[in-house]
Amino acid sequence: MLKQHPFLRALYIFSLCWIIAIIILLLLYFTWLREWQMTWGATTEEVSRYMAGDELLEDPALNATRAVEIKAPPEQVWPWLVQMGYNRAGLYSFGKLDNGGVPSAERIIPEFQNLKVGDPILPLLKVVEMEPNRSMLWVFQKGAGPWQDATWSWGLYETNNGHTRLVSRLRQQYTYNSLQEIITWVMVDPMEIFMMRTTLLGIKRRVESNQLK
């Protein structure tokens, strides 16, 4: 039948090539690249160290620990974390996606420095635990779809030279109750590193550039 319809035959071959290419890329990712991107920038010690909220999920499918070193002490990094959030200072990532099209702040905003436990960071993402200048835990709430109960933890660890190791840990237990959920996680798993890396580097750049002013 396809031989009689050259356009349909070309469309079929084109689609098949794309499907094969995507399958090959996913196989390469889950075989070779996933472990690297799940621990981007983090040391072995940082990956294995306990962080706030680890006890909330046992053996999560997504367990990503990423880190950057910032040339500033923790007390100068902390204010940038405290003001993060939607309709606040943003997430220092892609403003069109995480802050309603508004670019993330480039300065410390005093009115956003009063964050407390129970406050929202994003819709259905709330602050659950805070230890000033040391750690903060966010948890996705009921109704957050596939992200429900996921934990996002932050740790600030001062180095011997007075710098800060800023560590982010995102943990979630995947569910595969529908084709939509399967597709969601197949797409999210290899893609969320781009936003997380941008956020970490965005914080680092802002802290260090404001140090020079």
User: Tens digits of per-residue pLDDT, 80-138?
Assistant: 999 999 999 999 998 777 778 889 999 999 999 999 999 999 999 999 999 999 999 99
Fold category of 40-211 in CATH: Alpha-D-Glucose-1,6-Bisphosphate; Chain A, domain 4 (3.30.530)
Nearest-angstrom CA–CA distance, 112 and 91 = 13
What 92-97 contacts at long range (C-beta under 8 Å, 24+ apart), as own/partner pairs, is: 92/198, 92/199, 92/202, 92/203, 92/206, 93/195, 93/196, 93/198, 93/199, 93/202, 94/195, 94/198, 97/195
The verdict on pTM exceeding 0.75 is yes
Q: What is the pLDDT of residue 11?
A: 63
On whether the CB atoms of residues 170 and 64 are closer than 8 A, the answer is yes
Nearest-angstrom CA–CA distance, 76 and 30 = 37
Q: Report pLDDT digits (tens) over 8-57.
A: 556 656 676 766 666 666 666 666 677 888 899 999 999 999 999 999 99
Q: Which amino acid is at 100?
A: G
| Burial label, 160 (beta-carbon count in 10 A; 0-12, 13-18, 19+) | exposed
213 has pLDDT over 60? no
DSSP bridge pairs for 92: none
On whether the CB atoms of residues 117 and 130 are closer than 8 A, the answer is yes
Sheet containing 120-122: which strands, arranged edge to edge?
A: 62-70, 164-172, 151-158, 135-140, 125-131, 120-122
Nearest-angstrom CA–CA distance, 163 and 174 = 35
